[in-house]
Amino acid sequence: MRRLPLVLAAALLLAVPACSSDGGDAAPSGTSAGATSTTAAASSDTTAAAEPVDQTAPTGGNGITIDDEGMLWVAVMTDDEVLRIDPEDGAILARFAMPDGAGPDDLALDDGAAYITGFTSGDVLALDPDSGDVTSIGSIGAGANPIAVRPDGGLIVGRAITATGLFAVDPSGGEAPVALGDPGSVNSFSFGADSVLYGPLSAPDGGSIVAIDADTGTVTSVVSKVTGFPSGVRVHDGMLYALVTDGTSKVQRIDPATGTVTLFGDTGLGLADNLAVGVDGEVYVTGFNTADITVLGADGTVERTITMGG
């Protein structure tokens, strides 16, 4: 998700169950994460679960991404689960239990698997959507937060809010995580077509959107300063979409070539967590403490609200 405004910091930390102190030791590769079986497994090529799926609304929403079928995947920190959601009606297509106390915060999809960061436990988790099996592929310590798939393969994972640092993580769990460097408290990030990692950085002198060298973990440039607390960046059609909370949570659109910032849209949410951009330019924003996902149309106006669980 930097020195936060006090009210936002309090809200975030109260919502996270007692984070342990930072422990950067890597977990043994391939170790079981201890998750219970999922309510229903969801194949990447089907939208129907084999059994009825519990439609109980989650207590909130954190990391969000979109699969190849246009379905939404949402990490729910406070419920220790990951959901697959139909964006048309909010129906929960599958819910996957994470290990107790993991605190799933952000997630990324690649090659039929889902990778999730455990903010509280520090584990990086791999989920097989077909079987529902969850394993730990390594630990980077409490505060594990942003995660992205490198264009050339592998995972880049960072820590934010309660700790900092950037790590290369082997998706197979065969190799221990490798510390790359420390760009600061950078939250949910994503790669551009130029293979540069773009993310939101919080610092004592305010928030900014930065470009990061994914090989060294160093900040190569400040793309733009922003007013408020930035918590997520997504790249779409060569532009950066940044979620920034300043009174209300807004989506800023930034030209990475010039650093020009324009207001894309205001979600109206007092506290939002993360965002994803669809192929058609719709922006999906999770509310930290609500089961609703706010959808901004391609013109930036609030188009509708998706309630997870219908």
- Residue of 252, 151, 263 lying closest to 200 (CA atoms): 252
- Report percent pLDDT > 70 for the chain: 84
Give pTM, 2 decimals: 0.85
- Mean pLDDT, to the nearest integer, of 34-54? 55
CATH code, residues 6-17+28-42+55-307: 2.130.10.10
- End-to-end CA distance of the chain: give it in Å, rounded: 27
Contact of 41 with 84, CB cutoff 8 Å: no
pLDDT at 48 over 90: no
- Residue of 197, 186, 200, 307 lying closest to 243 (CA atoms): 200
Give CA torsion, residues 168, 79, 295, 301, to 10 deg: -90
Helices and strands in the chain, H and E counts = 1, 26
pLDDT at 242 over 50: yes
Domain positions in the chain are 6-17+28-42+55-307
Contact of 285 with 243, CB cutoff 8 Å: yes
pLDDT at 47 over 60: no
- Residue of 182, 217, 189, 233 lying closest to 203 (CA atoms): 182
- Mean pLDDT, to the nearest integer, of 240-259? 96
Q: What is the pLDDT of residue 72?
A: 98
Give 289 or 205, the one with higher predicted confidence: 289
Q: What is the pLDDT of residue 76?
A: 98
User: Can you tell me the distance from the alpha carbon of 277 to that of 92, in angstroms, rounded to the nearest whole number?
Assistant: 20
With bands split at pLDDT 50, 70 and 90, how would you rate the model's confidence at 252?
very high
With bands split at pLDDT 50, 70 and 90, how would you rate the model's confidence at 109?
very high
